Structures are given as C-alpha cells and as structure tokens.
Amino acid sequence: MRVLMFGWEFPPHIAGGLGTACYGLTRGLSKLGVEVIFVVPKAYGDEDQRFLQIKNASDVEAPYGTLETEEELWKQLTFIQINSNMVPYLSPEEYETEWSEFRHEKRRGIPQDIWKQRYNFTGKYGANLMEEVARYAMVAAQVAKEMEGKFDVIHAHDWLTYYAGIAAKRVSGKPLVVHMHATEFDRSGENVNTVVYNIERTGMAAADRVMAVSNLTRNIVIEKYGISPEKVVTVHNGVRFKAHEGPEEERGVEDKIVTFLGRITYQKGPDYFVEAAAKVLKHLPNVRFVMAGSGDMLNHVVRRVAKLGISDRFHFTGFLKGDEVRRMFELSDVYIMPSVSEPFGISPLEAMRSNVPVIISKQSGVAEVLTHAVKVDYWDVDAMADAIYSLVTYPALHNMFITKGQEEVTTLKWDSAAKNVLDVYKSVTE
C-alpha cells in the first residue's frame, strides 16, 4: 500500500509533539510494508528518509485551478484576527516582531500568476500561516495530480493540512483519512478561533475516516464538531526513545529536580505547576523546578515565580529538542505534565523510558493507557504538590514507579499504533 501523507513538520525540525508523532508512525508503517510519500511545506535535506520519501512542497510548481477558485479559497483562509496570538507555537518575541509587522501590511490583490510559481514555504507557525495553509492546499492538488495512480490513500495530519488533504482527494478521487492530534478546544479552551475550528470541521466532514489520538479527543470530535461516531476511531500514540550510549549526565547539584517540559501555553497548565512548586518548597527546600519550553505564557509565569519568592529554586531552559530532551530527562527525578487539556501527550512516555516517574493530569489522553503514573486533576495543586513531595521523599515509592513504568511503557510502541492505522487504511480502500 502507498500513502500520500501531508504533515506540517518532520524531525529534526519540529515545534512540538506533532513532528515526533509523524516520525514514529511512518517508521512503524514502513515495517508493515507501507510506502509513505510525506509532503512537508519546507524540507531541509537532513530528514531521515530511510523509511519514507520526503517531498518538499517548496519545490513544487502549482498551476492548479481557476482564478475564481483560488480567490474563493483565499477568502476562506485569510480571515484572521491579527490582534490575537492564535498560533500556539509562537513565542512572545516572535509575536511582537512578526505579527505586529504583518498587521500593518495592506492586503493586495492576487496576481493572475501567483499560483503558477513555486512558493517558498517557511514551514513555521508565523504571521503568514494562513497564507501558507492556502498555498499548501494548491500544492497538494498538484502533487496528487502528478502522482495519479501511484498512491492508494491520503493521510492528513492536523488542521494545517486538512485543506491539502481535501484538495488531493478532489483531484485523485482517493479516500482521505485525517488525523486529529489536537483540537482547537484543546489549544484555546472555549475561546476558540473560529477560522481554525471551521477548517477542522470541514476537514473531518470531508474525510472518509477520522483518527483521534485518544478517546478524550474522539468525544470532542463527536460532540463539538458534530462528526458521526461511526466515522471516528481512536488510535493511541506510541513512544520511541533511542538508547543512550555513553556516560550519564553530571547533575552538579544534590537537590531533587522536578521537570515540566512542553509549550508554556494555557493548554499545558504551566501556572498550576508553579503553584504546586511553591507549596512543595514550603516543606522541602532542597528541590529545584525546571520549566523547559517557550510560549505565550512565559512572561506571566516568570513574574509569578518572582512574586512567590521561589526564583532561586526555579530554572527556565527555553525550548529543548532532540538530545537536549534526553539530557533533561536524565537529570530529572520527577516529570510532570499538568495539562488543562491534552489530546494524548507523548512526553510522559519518553520520561518513563528514561526511568523518570511521572505525574499527569486526568485530563490527558495518555492517562487512558497508563496505569503506573500518578494522576491528578490539573487544577488540584494540593494533590499535585503531595504527589511531588511523595516521589522525591520516599525512595521505595520512587523506585516502584520507575520499575513498573519502564515495564508498562515498553508495550506502548509505534509499531502497535501503525498496525491500527493500517487497519484504518484498509477499511477505506477495500
């Protein structure tokens, strides 16, 4: 089976868990004999292509459709409230520079030949994101046209590529499977961006099958977007963490280290982590808290840490990737993911593979598949603080979660997820 797959990012150039999931899934599919052509907005040339073919959308000329069609698509995709920091991956610095510049630009008319040129995608989440989403859809149609008869199914990851998947389906007539890694409700709570919501709903309505990364996400898709339950299936993510060969990281401190690793945004609950840390430090002064990541709540969190008087116990590392993540886990005694809404959550699995006990919110999809993790409500900072206190104070408890967690996480592999995805492909092609 051959799959034409659309994704917005691919390792080593990632901004979050989406690229990591794409890597693990495509690697698992290759072991099952599935050929994947992965279209990414911008390829850098250093992607691992041993098990898939990377196609760079920036190298594709897309003279597709009529001008009327292009203008209609443009109108649908460029209406956006510029004054709101809609993009979850945008740092405060990027927001100030890129978005402030963009909102002062006047929208010009569309040249007749705009779609007849190669478009140099950034592949990022900046001010021209909607413009790139629109043009990516045009490129997708051209790719599907050029590959006519050479693939069996279309797979689109997350809302950024849903219109690309729809365009490819219209050109080829092949079935479309869309993957919902995170809904707009996960990113924004009830204050959803209507443009993104409409793209998500349109993509799922046009798809032959919708894959949700957890039952939690599946329920949101059905209840909030009105998608038929028969059309939505759950496929839990897996984990892949390469074994590290070499000396262990030198800590340099005797204090216990509790780590938060993720985007510093509303969705990830960083403020609850700070409040729990303050409660722990009232009883245990020999604990350090690390917040690894970046996001639009960073300045707020830094100010709150200062106001609570715990700055000397708090460390901000900025965004970590690749080997930096492994090193951070090796230095950690406890990992915590207090997400307000987490469709799945791969990082706790990576922490467990690194022999780190984890505390996760009950509002996360990964809580559905983990038994040996401490689960608390994201808002219950007292329970969160108690869990941290227990794991850093009682060695027997700490070691039990390491041993049992390691046994459990080894069963949650991408190979298993890939088998389930292949079953979904077969259900829409046979």
Contact 138, 6 (CB under 8 A): no
Q: Which pLDDT value is given to residue 75?
A: 52
Return the minimum-mean-pLDDT range out of 235-244, 256-265, 403-412. 235-244
Burial class (CB in 10 A: 0-12, 13-18, 19+), 310: middle
| Rounded Cα gap, residues 373 and 356, in angstroms | 10
Please compute the mean of the pLDDT values over residues 275-299 and round it to a whole number: 96
> What tens digit of pLDDT does each residue of 300-338 get?
999 999 999 999 999 999 999 878 998 999 999 999 999
Q: How confident is the model at residue 64 (pLDDT cuts 50, 70, 90)?
A: very low
What value, to the nearest 5°, has the Cα angle with vertex 224 and ends 223 and 228? 50
User: What pLDDT score was predicted for residue 248?
Assistant: 64
The pLDDT assigned to 271 comes to: 96
pLDDT of residue 90: 46
Higher pLDDT, 384 or 91: 384
Residue 58 to residue 41: CA distance in whole angstroms: 6
Higher pLDDT, 84 or 390: 390
Give dist(CA 293, CA 54) in Å, integer: 28
Could you tell me which residues come within 8 angstroms of residue 308 by beta carbon, excluding any fewer than 6 positions away? 274, 278
Q: Is the pLDDT of residue 81 over 90?
A: no
For 14-48, the pLDDT digits (tens) are: 877 788 899 999 999 999 999 999 999 999 999 99
Q: What pLDDT sits at residue 71?
A: 52
* Calpha distance 140→134 (Å, rounded): 10
Can you list the domains of the chain with their CATH numbers? 2-238+414-429 (3.40.50.2000), 256-409 (3.40.50.2000)
- Band (pLDDT 50/70/90 cuts) for residue 225 is very high
